[in-house]
């Protein structure tokens, strides 16, 4: 597969809704350690709302689809992460305006625009124990995959897609996000509610970095299905 369609994006969102429901307790436990025990509930509420609206959204324009998802998340997730994930999807959608399909290069630009939005809105840098710590390495992995040789050793994988096939690139991005989320454990939180704990925030994995990893894992699974 060299491109993702609007149907793929919708399948990703369905998968994400399942994952957030399934991991609700886990994410909430992570947030109980360094926050206020609501991250799992927040994410499950938001993605359940997205799933409920999915059939009414236009899949022919991925930009419009992602923007609509961002608006739903903005109004349903709540907490610090609601506006941040809302911005991620809205800014990603802005970048994908009018696109019926995304190849790896376009998908990377789109997710990078989402990350830029998160960073602009939340003002977090890498190493401050936030979702940025999972998203930055994921985007770096996508960029690196574009330069990687395809399965036949030729740049572009033989059919002009540019670099590794999209599923493989997303699998690497999800692995990078997982490593990034795990690497938040020893960090001291500098942004968000967890920062109120100061040094006591060290020793726990960041909930938002973990949910970002889950979202990327769902996207990789959708592309690989």
Q: Are 51 and 13 in contact (CB under 8 A)?
A: yes
Tell me the residue number closest to ligand ADP, measured at CB.
208
Cβ closest to Mg ion, residue 2 vs residue 201: 201
Stretch that binds Mg ion, among 12-20, 24-32, 113-121, 139-147 (CB under 5 A): 24-32
Q: Is 163 in the site for ligand ADP (CB under 6 A)?
A: no
115 binds, among ligand ADP, Mg ion, none (CB under 5 to 8 A by kind): none
Task: Compute CA distances 116 → 92, 109, 113, 135, whole Å.
Answer: 9, 10, 5, 10
- Using alpha carbons, select from 14, 225, 212 the residue that is nearest to residue 111: 212
Neighbour-count burial of 55, counting CB atoms closer than 10 A to its CB (0-12 exposed, 13-18 middle, 19+ buried): exposed
Indicate which single residue of 23, 38, 61, 168 sits in contact with ligand ADP (rule: CB under 6 A). Answer: 38
55 Cβ partners below 8 Å, 6+ apart?
Answer: none
Q: Is 204 in the site for ligand ADP (CB under 6 A)?
A: no
Cβ closest to Mg ion, residue 63 vs residue 82: 82
Whole-angstrom Cα distance, residue 86 to residue 76? Answer: 9
Q: Is 86 in the site for ligand ADP (CB under 6 A)?
A: no
Q: Is 6 in the site for ligand ADP (CB under 6 A)?
A: no
Whole-angstrom Cα distance, residue 51 to residue 45? Answer: 10
Cβ closest to ligand ADP, residue 11 vs residue 213: 213
Q: Under the rule (CB under 6 A), what is the footprint of ligand ADP? A: 31, 35-36, 38-39, 42, 79-81, 84, 118, 122-124, 130-132, 191-193, 206-209
């Amino acid at each position: 597969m060299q491109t993702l369609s609007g149907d793929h994006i919708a399948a990703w969102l369905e998968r994400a809704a399942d994952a957030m429901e399934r991991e609700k307790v886990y994410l909430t436990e992570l947030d109980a350690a360094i926050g206020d025990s609501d991250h799992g509930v927040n994410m499950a509420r938001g993605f359940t709302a997205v799933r409920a609206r999915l059939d009414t959204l236009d899949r022919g324009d991925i930009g419009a689809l992602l923007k609509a998802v961002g608006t739903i998340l903005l109004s349903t997730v709540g907490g610090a992460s609601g506006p941040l994930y809302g911005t991620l999807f809205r800014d990603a959608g802005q970048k994908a305006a009018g696109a019926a399909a995304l190849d790896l290069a376009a998908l990377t630009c789109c997710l990078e625009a989402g990350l830029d939005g998160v960073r602009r809105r939340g003002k977090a840098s890498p190493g401050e124990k936030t979702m940025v710590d999972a998203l930055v390495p994921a985007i770096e992995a996508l960029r690196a995959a574009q330069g990687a040789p395809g399965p036949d050793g030729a740049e572009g994988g033989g059919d002009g897609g540019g670099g590794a096939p999209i599923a493989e690139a997303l699998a690497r991005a999800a692995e990078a996000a997982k490593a990034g989320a795990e690497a938040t454990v020893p960090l001291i939180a500098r942004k968000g509610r967890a920062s109120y704990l100061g040094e006591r925030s060290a020793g726990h994995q960041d909930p938002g970095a973990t949910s970002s990893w889950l979202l990327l894992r769902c996207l990789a699974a959708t592309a690989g299905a």
